[in-house]
Amino acid sequence: LECCQIGLLAVNEPFLTDWLIGCRVQRVPEGSTERYTRWINTLSQDQLITEVYTSHGPTVVMPTWFCSREWYLKVGPFDEGGKGVPEDLLFFYQSLRKGGGLFRVDQCLLIYRYHEKATTHSVTESTIWKLRVDFLQERVLSQWESFTIWNAGKQGRKLYRSLSLANQKKVKAFCDVDENKIQKGFYTYEESKERPKPKIPVLHYKDASTPFIICVKLDMTGGNLEENLNSLQMKEGIDYYHFN
């Protein structure tokens, strides 16, 4: 009831009529999806916008959404394609495309149950990956003349190969902390039809230049990634975006 009351009050505020509004959640069973739950509950208001490209999905989780009927009709409806369709992510991205905002009430107002038969598990990783890459290219890379991919390993190379040819040409370097990757000096895109095949430099992150697309998962390196990012005194959403 409290969740409904807060949601209804929020969507009736004039400046929030075109926003998706949600809240913090309590995940059950306790300890399930620990990293994900910590992420959705601790994002700052700015990060609700800047971290929409990560593998976690919507920064305000769909079971907590409130929005005005007017906004729903403008953005929607939901894609009812059935099993395997990420209808929440599609609606979320479309809301942002139409200029919608995001807001999280910093109270835990929903119990969010995890179970192995949840519909979300029917959506393939490749489906989500393509949507994320397309949205990143549309919203971020189209605005940049060049950029560095932070991660010369599997995920960074996968992102590079998934980009349009125009955006591949904007990649000025990969960067990493792994000396073995750095010592190789470059990554060769062997599958390319271009001749000669593209060779992308691999640098230490301290020698690379902004802006960055970060292809290393947050909260998975014992704080090393976060410490390295902080050491460069960059601003998220300007100097870098997470795509992890």
Residue percentage of the chain with pLDDT more than 90: 81
Q: What is the reported pTM?
A: 0.92
Retrieve residue 222's tokens: 């014992």
Interval 84-142: pLDDT, tens: 899 999 999 999 999 999 999 999 999 988 876 666 667 899 999 999 999 999 999 99
Q: Are 2 and 55 in contact (CB under 8 A)?
A: no
Interval 29-54: pLDDT, tens: 988 899 999 999 999 999 999 999 99
For the chain, what is the total number of helices (H) and then of strands (E)?
10, 8
pLDDT band at residue 223, thresholds of 50, 70 and 90?
very high
Retrieve residue 207's tokens: 């020698």
Distance CA 110, CA 96 (A): 24
Confidence check: pLDDT of 12 > 70: no
Q: Which domains does the chain have, with CATH numbers?
A: 2-123 (no CATH), 140-242 (3.40.50)
Distance CA 75, CA 72 (A): 5
Distance CA 138, CA 121 (A): 26
